[in-house]
Amino acid sequence: MKATWGLVGAAVVMSWAAQAAAQFPPPGGGPPPTPRASAPIDLTGVWVSIVNEDWRWRMITAPRGDFPGLPLSPAGRAIAMAWDPKTDGSCKAFGAAAVMRMPTRVRISWADDVTLKIETDNGQQTRLLHFGAGRPPGAPSLQGDSAADWQRTLPPNNPFGINFPGGPPPPPGGSLRVVTTNLSGGWLRRNGVPYSAKTTVTEFFDRFPVPDGSEWFVVTTQVVDPEYLLGRLVTSSHFRREPDASKWAPKPCRT
Amino acid sequence: MTLNRTCAGLTLLAAIMFTAPRPAAAQVNVVGYWNPLVADEDFIERVPGPNVGDYAGLPITNAARKRANTWDASLLTLPEHQCKPHPSTYGFRGIGVLRIWEEREAATQQLVRIKTHIQWQAQERDIWMDGRPEPSELEPHTWQGFSTGKFEGDVLVVRTTHLKAGWIRRNGLPLSDRATMTERFIRHGDLLTHVMMLEDPVYLSEPLVKTNGFAVAPTGTMEPYPCRPAVEVPREAGEVPHHGIDDAPPTREFAERHGIPEEAAAGGAATALPEFMSKLPSLPMAEPKGDPNEGFGPPAPPGGRGAGPGRGRGAGPDGAPPAAGRGR
Amino acid sequence: MRARLLRSRRVVIAATMAAAVVSVLAAQQAPPAQPNFDAVTVRSFKVQDHVFMLAGAGGNITAQIGNDGVLVVDTQFAQMADKLLAEIARLSGNKPIRYIIDTHVHPDHVGGNERFRRAGRAIVAGNVAGDVRGNEGATVIAHETVAARMSQQDGTTPPAPGGAIPTDTFFGESDEVFFNGEAVQLIHQPAAHTDGDVMVFFRKSDVIATGDVYVNTSYPVIDTARGGTIDGIIAGLNHIIEITVPRDKQEGGTMVIPGHGRIADEADVVEYRDMVTIIRDRVRDMTKKGMTLQQIKAAGPTSDYDGRYGATSGFWTTDNFVEAVYRTLGGK
């Protein structure tokens, strides 16, 4: 009798396992979707920065030496204190470590299936965010080399922490992660607070709705510079979606 | 016997794995101690406190501006004002370690609420995760309000109502007791990005969105914060400090100190948009007076303010420097 | 959900205030239509310990419930009595109403006196215990000016029915009752909303029912025809702040039941007191400068608070409030 119930139980388990496996995509079945096709969030469109934080360091150029709170190293502080205000407006303030903190509109679009493009009207900068590995680095530049990947919503963890191979389709939602290196250095602030060529910038882009119906994204930017910063610098900048590009106003920076 | 036990165990295991209710996503863990990254952005506002008269970038109404322009910081010396904590609409922007923890129903392990505690003035808050409805509009309002939450993917989304009258910024910019707040807690590794969306039909012309960051605190400590009011300033009974509506607004002093147009200091939704930069050269702008760092950075070197195009304005619309002599 | 709550709140406020206008502006303009009482639902809220608040149409009612029976503060409108009495019976397990305390004379606070009184039963204190005068109904306590006004014709309002007029009055600063195991203090606040205002402090439950000395739905209503003044309102608000003790961080502790609006605590009263004081100071300063009433109104002494407390129509507009402040500060 006990043996009979045991066999019945085993049959039930195997039946359930078969049903579960049938839900999962078979391994090796078709090419994986492109980053463009599999984007968990849509960042394309025109967005405007809403500058209600650090206003007098972002909307205008603060005086030399005005950078309260920033964790600058002695070397970074010395460079900041030597900034020449006549260089205000330089493209150095529009490098990858700080461009998303500028008052600007951004236009985000797919250059191809594996490259997301971010253009700014203020400073007229272009960033190319490349999905996938294996791209040879170019020369150091203001925007550096950006490696992108999708951070997807984590699948539910069953009580025993076991996830089947292949796994169920991920739940909706996620973020864009971008890691930028190979920078030529620039300014973290318009008043010449520097970052060096050894800087790594890690960004997370997250979409969110606001109760009034508008759509926004926030980019959390982490700057690590072993030369000019003591520890990392983390800022979060938010943008609101524009209905169209009618307010796009290109304004060059000074090279 | 052994085979039967094994089969029975497998049966039980499968039953649990395939029949227990599970959320659609993992509900990322926000529990723990978090340090606010106050030095990295909005340092002046969040640590020493915002300047009186600085409303730049905020979508405030005329009513809010007038309230703030007539606000007197001495109000906070009244005993009945001394022990007020930050309301939940401001606490996450302040200083003080943040602790987040869960409370679950013992039998079902259902998440009942997430609690937050911020050290300064012991701001403790309940975020109800069990779907309970909002209380009646006649129920009391509190500093932390009534919050309900849910997970959208990996993001904790919280809605708060029933707030006491508070502040948009602690320089007199008010928030009414009709305000509501929506928040998103977004975790990336050891970073927590807090997105706050404030709506106030009285004092905000559009939603105010603020974002700031926290980092995992390697050590978890939380000190108590007792507060007992005392009479600090002898006054006539019933006196409420405030400035007259005809007094010079503090925006003027702030603008003069930092060399920005008073129209910028006065705030409004338009001052947050990039096109406001183009308007700046046409606005009257005083030469800055005093130390812009106000003691929170190296003293500005002599001549460090610059007479060049960078002085407070940046490049003009076509990249050319603004005309000399304008507003100086 | 938020829109529905806002609409619901506006309906309640409109119904309440529309009804209360009758006594305040009777001499100045035609009273508005009565609210549709059939559509009004009574809601009750436990405030603290023995004390409950009931909201319907008209002023908030406070009910202290215990083994001795029920003590109510204010009675709203006569047309609401059935619903209110039913809810009190449900909350109390059908205990009798022993005391009714009137905070002031307005019909949205005393309109139900007669019905409540007849539904209740008095207790005779002193040497005679028990229900000796059962046919006379509950005891109705108020400041003597309330009884005086309810007994006489004051222009457009007829005298109240005999059964509605307070049975026990006092003329000094205070009165007191011990009921349901706690001291209940009746505090007269002179020349505030009217000249007969009483606030009721439940000492053990730590709740104060303020009548219309404190509301959180509008600017203070100052019934100048019945002795109300802005300085009296401010004195009353400061008195409430003296009495209340917050539990922690300026929240909780002594709870406050306003004449109209949501349950509050000291911090809410402080916010309101600050607003009223600031506006009074502004009007006073303008008056000292020789500005006329019209000039003062045009200067907008309330504009930063209008979005929360003001009204451009209805029985108590912002203009009415500014004028009342001006006049009771001595403006001509």
Q: What is the CATH number of the domain that holds C163?
A: 3.60.15.10
- The mean predicted confidence, pLDDT, of chain B is 85
| pLDDT value, residue A223 | 98
Residue C6 clears pLDDT 50, i.e. is over it: no
Q: Distance between CA C211 and CA C73 in Å, rounded?
A: 9
With respect to residue C47, please indicate whether it lies within any of the assigned structural domains. yes
With respect to residue C172, please indicate whether it lies within any of the assigned structural domains. yes
| pLDDT value, residue A27 | 53
Cα atoms in the Cβ-side hemisphere of radius 13 Å centred on C61: 35
Average pLDDT over residues B49-78: 97
Q: How far is CA C294 from CA C301, C320, C325, in A?
A: 12, 12, 13
Name which of C1, C251, C306 to mutate to probe chain B: the one with the most chain B Cβ atoms within 10 A of its Cβ: C251
Average pLDDT over residues B14-37: 68
Residue B189 clears pLDDT 60, i.e. is over it: yes
Domain span at residue C110 reads 2-281
- The mean predicted confidence, pLDDT, of chain A is 89
Name which of A4, A15, A64 to mutate to probe chain B: the one with the most chain B Cβ atoms within 10 A of its Cβ: A64
With respect to residue C323, please indicate whether it lies within any of the assigned structural domains. no
With respect to residue C298, please indicate whether it lies within any of the assigned structural domains. no
Q: Distance between CA A96 and CA A149 in Å, rounded?
A: 17
| CB-based contact, B83 to chain C, within 8 Å | yes
The SS3 call for residue A188 is coil
pTM, entire model: 0.88
| Residue B315's pLDDT band (cuts 50, 70, 90) | very low
With respect to residue C229, please indicate whether it lies within any of the assigned structural domains. yes
Residue B182 clears pLDDT 60, i.e. is over it: yes
Per-residue DSSP letters for A67-86? -TT--B-HHHHHHHHT--GG
| Residue B303's pLDDT band (cuts 50, 70, 90) | very low
Q: How far is CA A244 from CA A44, A247, B42, C255, in A?
A: 12, 8, 30, 52
Average pLDDT over residues B175-179: 98
Lowest model confidence (mean pLDDT) among B175-184, C15-24, C64-73, C286-295: C15-24
pLDDT tens across C152-170, in order? 866 656 788 888 999 999 9
| CB-based contact, B324 to chain A, within 8 Å | no
3-state secondary structure string across chain B: CHHHHHHHHHHHHHHHHHHCCCCCCCCCCCCEEEEECCCCCCHHHHCCCCCCCCCCCCCECHHHHHHHHCECHHHHHCHHHHCCCCCHHHHCCCCCCEEEEEEECCCCCCEEEEEEEECHHHEEEEEECCCCCCCCCCCCCECCCEEEEEEECCEEEEEEECECCEEEECCCEEECCCCEEEEEEEEECCEEEEEEEEECCCCECCCEEEEEEEEECCCCCCCCCCCCCCCCCCCCCCCCCECCCCCCCHHHHHHHHHCCCHHHHCCCHHHHCCHHHHHHHHCCCCCCCCCCCCCCCCCCCCCCCCCCCCCCCCCCCCCCCCCCCCCC
Q: Distance between CA C58 and CA B3 in Å, rounded?
A: 76
* Dihedral angle of Cα A9, A15, A18, A20, to the nearest 10 degrees: -80
| Residue A4's pLDDT band (cuts 50, 70, 90) | low
Average pLDDT over residues B227-232: 94
With respect to residue C275, please indicate whether it lies within any of the assigned structural domains. yes
Q: Any residues with CB less than 8 A from the CB of C90 and at least 6 apart, and which?
A: none
In 3D space, the residue among C3, A41, C206 whose CA is nearest the CA of residue B152 turns out to be A41
Phi, psi dihedrals of residue C328, rounded to the nearest 5°: -80, -5
- B32-52+73-216 maps to CATH 1.20.1250: no
pLDDT tens across B262-283, in order? 999 999 999 999 999 999 999 9
Q: Distance between CA B181 and CA B195 in Å, rounded?
A: 10
Q: Distance between CA C209 and CA C222 in Å, rounded?
A: 18
| pLDDT value, residue B95 | 85
Cα atoms in the Cβ-side hemisphere of radius 13 Å centred on A138: 11
Q: Tell me the β-bridge partners of B242.
A: B71
Q: Which of residues 181-240 of B touch A (CB under 8 A)?
A: 182, 184, 186, 188, 191, 193, 195, 197, 199, 206-213, 215
Report H helices in chain A: 2-23, 55-58, 74-81
Domain locations in chain B? 32-52+73-216
CB contact under 8 A, C278 and B81: no
Q: Tell me the β-bridge partners of C264.
A: C256
For C304, which of B67, B137, B161 is closest by C-beta distance?
A: B67
The domain total for chain C is 1
The SS3 call for residue C87 is helix
User: What six digits make up the tokens of A67?
Assistant: 């950078």
> In Å, how far is A87's CA from the nearest CA of chain B?
7
The SS3 call for residue C96 is coil
With respect to residue C215, please indicate whether it lies within any of the assigned structural domains. yes
The SS3 call for residue A200 is strand
DSSP code, position A185:
-
| Residue B96's pLDDT band (cuts 50, 70, 90) | confident
User: What six digits make up the tokens of C326?
Assistant: 């001006």
User: What six digits make up the tokens of B233?
Assistant: 């300033």
| CB-based contact, B276 to chain A, within 8 Å | yes
Query: Which chains does chain B touch, 3 or more C-beta pairs < 8 A?
Result: A, C
Lowest model confidence (mean pLDDT) among B128-142, B210-224, C75-89: B210-224
Average pLDDT over residues B47-64: 96
Compute how many other C-beta atoms are within 10 angstroms of the C-beta atom of residue B19. 9
3-state secondary structure string across C263-323: CECHHHHHHHHHHHHHHHHHHHHHHHCCCCHHHHHHHCCCCCCHHHHCCCCCCCCHHHHHH
- The mean predicted confidence, pLDDT, of chain C is 89
Q: Distance between CA B76 and CA A251 in Å, rounded?
A: 45
With respect to residue C332, please indicate whether it lies within any of the assigned structural domains. no
More confident residue, B284 or B78: B78
| pLDDT value, residue A117 | 98
| Residue C136's pLDDT band (cuts 50, 70, 90) | confident
ipTM, two decimals, is 0.88
Residue B82 clears pLDDT 50, i.e. is over it: yes
Residue A160 clears pLDDT 80, i.e. is over it: no
The SS3 call for residue A22 is helix
